[in-house]
Amino acid sequence: MAGGPGERPLEEGIRTDFSSVLDYASYLGLDQLLAAQHPLSQPEHPDELLFIVQHQTTELWFKLVLHELTAVRAHFAADEPSRARKALARVKHIFRTLAEQWSVLATLTPSEYAEFRGFLGSSSGFQSHQYRSVEFILGNKNAAMLPVFHARPGTQASLARLLDEPTVYDEFLRHLARTGLDVPAAVLERDVRRAWVEVPELVDVFAEVYGDPERHWAAYAVCEDLVDLEDAFQLWRFRHLRTVQRTIGFKTGTGGSSGVDFLRRALDLTFFPELYRVRTQIGA
């Protein structure tokens, strides 16, 4: 069919009848996805949609992050570091995207947010089970978080399973041990339900890797990938803190946390402390 002036005609082979075949909206579930935004402000505040979309898209990315990190852990367990690296690369790019996404929410001014913040009630990003799952699989485990999800038994059970399972770092270190590196037995036999804390003896293992990259190239490359991941994650945390600070200052969070101070303390958490500690020894 010919178009009007300035219109580009459809190419002959483009399908236009989807009455009996799968189309784009059906494949992506767009009817459900685009109907999942329900502003609560009365009258509806024009900026609440931004707030909802920002957090919903973050949750979609978290879903993919968790999917990829679960694969990374399995690849290390199967001694497939190259495949693990591919998934790690994807995760660090996701976190860079998430960090930049804060710039959109930062267009929400304090005055605008104050006009609908009260309608959020006690809901808070602190209650994101997917974020908590990502933290758990990376090593920041905390059994005290489970009661937060008591009202959602399925979610609580999923998080409890992750609490009981090895982390990405645990499986990487087990993989290194199987390649012949002298990973301390206490590391390999540790209680995986506990949060990771720095193991000084492990720094020597990484010093060996960084001291001879050519000999330990696969391990060396993964170590740098993990540092890239942590840097990207920390940048996301920092952008979160700055966005919250510019939007609500030092108010208490809607979920009851101390707000900015709570987020600032999270910046002191590290998933792979030995990979940073070893840098002091390199070339000393």
**113 among the known binding-site residues?**
yes
CA–CA distance from 62 to each of 32, 58, 95, 104, 154 (Å)? 19, 6, 9, 18, 18
**73 among the known binding-site residues?**
no
CA–CA distance from 136 to each of 145, 199, 269, 277 (Å)? 10, 18, 12, 22
**222 among the known binding-site residues?**
no
**244 among the known binding-site residues?**
no
**54 among the known binding-site residues?**
yes
**53 among the known binding-site residues?**
yes
**262 among the known binding-site residues?**
no
Binding residues for heme are 240
Binding residues for substrate are 51-55, 113, 117, 254
